[in-house]
Every structure is written in C-alpha cells, then in structure tokens.
Amino acid sequence: MNGLEERLKIGLSDAFKDFIKRSNYGFSQWRYFMVGNESYTFKHVLNFNLESLFIDFMQSLKEWLEPEEIVFANDGYGGYYLWNTTTDVVLFLDTDDGSKKALLNLKMFLKKLESRG
C-alpha cells in the first residue's frame, strides 16, 4: 500500500490500512447498514494489491472524485464508498446521478460495518 500512497499522493491512515488488511479485500457476505433512515449495501472492498489497475480505476471515476478522496469499496449496484483523507469522512457516490452523500467519519463507519454479521 505504500507504493499506492506515493502514486496517489495521498497518505492513508493506520485505521484505513488496518481495515483493508482485516477485510482481506472482501467479506464473506454482503453487509447492510443504516445511516439515519437510509439503508446502504456494502459488497466488496476493492483490491489495493493491483496498484496499476486500481490507479486506472480511480482515473475512470475522476470526474466524481476530489483530489483527497479515494474509492475503497462498492455496493454491487454501481455505487461506491469514498474516503476523504482530509476530513476523515466516508461518502457514498451514486454513479447513476453523480450524487455524493457524507455518511460517517471513518472510525464510526468501520465500527458500524464490522459490527454486522
């Protein structure tokens, strides 16, 4: 992941790196969780081992991303979870309409996600 940080010119927090390692780039089943009265689906953590493919993927979404945002997961329906490395907030990107919605700070997001069976 260090090479990825250099190529993206973004520092990844220890909490984020630990989550990627714990999730092993995925979960055995889809996760569902609520933020407010909105329901979200969490399917895959993206594979950060394939650095060049990941960089290409980030480039394909650049019209929706701020420089400090990194895509780290998807919902299986064309939506993506972004982490803003400056504000430490996780956002949901709906690629159907290009809308972004701030969800929770990274620590609370991971706690909510990982508390699910």
Closest CA to 90 of 59, 112, 61: 112
CA distance 95 to 89: 19
**Structure-block tokens of residue 9:** 């010119």
Q: What is the DSSP letter of 12?
A: P
What pLDDT, in 10s, does the model give residues 28-59?
567 788 888 999 988 877 766 655 677 777 78
Global pTM reads 0.77
- Name which CATH class applies to 2-114: alpha beta
> Domain residues of the chain, as ranges?
2-114
In the chain, what are the helix, strand and coil shares in percent, each to the nearest 5? 30, 30, 40
Rounded CA gap, 44 and 26, in Å?
A: 5
Confidence band for 8, pLDDT divided at 50, 70 and 90: confident
